[in-house]
Structure 1
Amino acid sequence: MSAVLISVAELQELLDTAGSRVRLLDVRWLLGDPDGPQHYLDGHIPGAVFVDLETELADPPSAAKGRHPLPDLAHLQKCARSWGVSDGDTVVAYDANGGMAAARAWWLLRWGGVADVRILDGGLPAWEKAGGKIVSGEEPDPEPGTVVLTPGHMPTVDADGAGGWQGLLLDARAGERYRGEVEPIDPRAGHIPGAVSAPTAENLTDTGHFKPIEELRARFAGLGSGPVAVYCGSGVTAAHQIAALATVGIDATLYPGSWSQWSNDPKRPAATGTEPA
């Protein structure tokens, strides 16, 4: 598969041949489900460490920065070392929701300069369906890693840049939130004027695998042209959109603050309906 994704079969082969240099990250997280740690204890891939998206993959939320601001680099490096990550390791992140949370770990580690980070295509359900071993309970603490992170290896844009984006700005949230029909989390409904609706869920098949490359290529080609930037509610599922774009060779920019930051600033306009403007 692409350098973004790894299949269950490829992961099993990698673990069999280079297991000591593979770091498995269990990033189970869903909005409204605080029980990721318990899900991990109930069953995970052997050797995986649990990664807490709220505290390890994000700084504390604020109106000024959004619900999941990018974490401080020193904090991210400390966490990555606690997961056992060293320079030269292959890191594989997974969840149980089509990679929606795992992609946040993928994006952040790539942003920090880790060269080989993959998302397990199909996640834990695909692993289990293929007969992969599952263990429960705590894992021994991994040997601390020595990875050195440096920022800026993946592009970002701030609110001003997103508002004036010259190219294709994709809104990765569900269509009803883009249209402004509902807004269950953030202060205002709608979307950034000029943004095109591109729900992240449409990157996936019914089994939670990424769609074939040709289908994804056709999907993104039909949305518009020019340099691509992506936002969502808080910068989490937008990383999944960027991963899907990367599988077809399109480099995209993340607006980390996303709608949770934009909608908290009353000076910034909000559009509603099906049209970008």
Structure 2
Amino acid sequence: MDTTSPLISVDELVRALDGSQPPVLLDIRWQLGGPPGAQEYAAGHLPGAHYLDLDRELAAPPGPAGRHPLPDPEVLAAALRRAGVRGDRPVVVYDAGPATSAARAWWLLRWAGHPDVRVLDGGLAAWRSAGRPESTDTPPAGEGDFKPRPGRLPTVDADGAAALAREGLLLDARAAERYRGEVEPVDPRAGHIPGAVSAPTTENLGPDGRFRPVVELDRRFRELGADEQRVGVYCGSGVTAAHQALALAVTGRSAVLYPGSWSEWSADPARPAATGAERG
């Protein structure tokens, strides 16, 4: 399977599934506040896909490290083995469409050392739009052999995120109104990390729910200053930030992820919160 891009189109995936080494398919449907992804998976999914639970298998329990801390490597390993993930076989992850939760799985697998992971561009919505078949059958547990080796992608803690905001470029992937501090539906305080720059992930996508062309994404990140300094990404709990990292990767750029993100930062009263539209 061609891995020149971290994204794969429906047509490319169909060809890959017909090839000599078809990819393992992982369904990562999840959204804040529900409905539960497992129910949506049961109602219809890509044939042969295994479902992974973002809250339980792709994150540790919420706590001082945020709402979606990085998972225990053993928990992650067990989930990937059950899904049939192997170190020598490609993996394609997808969600309902915007690629937010799929990006979390992509980032985690790359962080854990898997060499060949791609995200279905447009997700299940694109698959359905192309008239491709779905299944309600749950495949039997796989016999994967992949062993996570955490740390293959860089991360920072709260101090590191603060330093990046001062000395580099820290992109806030949340909606602009949350960055400005006008609303905060989930976390303890409104606002953003001082010095961070607003860069909502919704602007990575076109009207059809697919990622914008590379030339447009490249221009977006260049205008944000991503070519001139070390880039970090954060969001509410480290999920949407992975979408930003994925969009950057589409353009050939790399990013450091702050897993605790605003859910960790805002829970610490010693950490300052900035508001308004300007960087600061």
Deviations, residues 230-277 of structure 1 (Å, cap 9, x unaligned) = 000000010000000001111100000000000000000000000111
| Secondary structure at the counterpart of residue 62 of structure 2 | coil
- Alpha-carbon displacement from aligned partner over 1:106-136 (angstroms, at most 9, x marks no partner): 0000000000000000101111111211112
Question: 2:6–2:119: 8 Å Cα contact kept in structure 1?
Answer: yes
CA distance in 2, matches of 1:38, 1:188: 32
Q: Distance in 2 between matches of 1:153 and 1:131?
A: 37
Question: Is 1:263 paired with 2:262?
Answer: no
Distance between the aligned counterparts of 2:35 and 2:60, measured in 1? 17
1:244 matched to 2:247 = yes
Letter in 1 for 2:191: G
Unaligned runs of 5+ in 1: none
Distance 1:35 1:169 in 2: 31
How high is the TM-score relative to the length of structure 2? Answer: 0.96
Task: Specify every segment of 5 or more residues in structure 2 that has no aligned partner in the other structure, as ranges.
Answer: none
Q: Give the match's secondary structure for 2:25.
A: strand
Residues 73-112 of structure 1 mapped to structure 2, 5 A cutoff: 73-112=73-112
Task: Give the AA of the match of 1:214.
Answer: V
1:51 and 2:73 correspond? no
Tell me how large the CA RMSD over aligned residues is: 1.1
Letter in 1 for 2:48: G
Q: Equivalent residue for 2:189?
A: 188
Give the 5 Å matches for 1:114-125: 114-125=114-125
- The count of aligned residue pairs is 274
- Cα distance in 2 between the residues matched to 1:56 and 1:142: 15
Q: Which amino acid aligns with 1:153?
A: R
> 13, 16, 19: which is aligned to 2:18?
16
Q: Report if the CA contact (8 A) 2:172-2:179 is conserved.
A: yes
SS of the aligned residue for 2:143 comes to coil
Q: Distance in 2 between matches of 1:8 and 1:33?
A: 26
**Contact 1:2-1:247 within 8 A present in 2 as well:** no
**Contact 2:49–2:139 (Cα < 8 Å) also in 1:** no
- Equivalent residues of 1:84, 1:145 under 8 A apart: yes
Three-state SS of the structure 1 residue aligned to 2:237 is: coil
Cα distance in 2, alignment partners of residues 59 and 97 from structure 1: 24
Q: How far apart are residue 2 of structure 1 and its match?
A: 4.2
Query: Which amino acid letter does the alignment assign opposite residue 261 of structure 1?
Result: E
Percent identity for Structure 1 against Structure 2 = 59
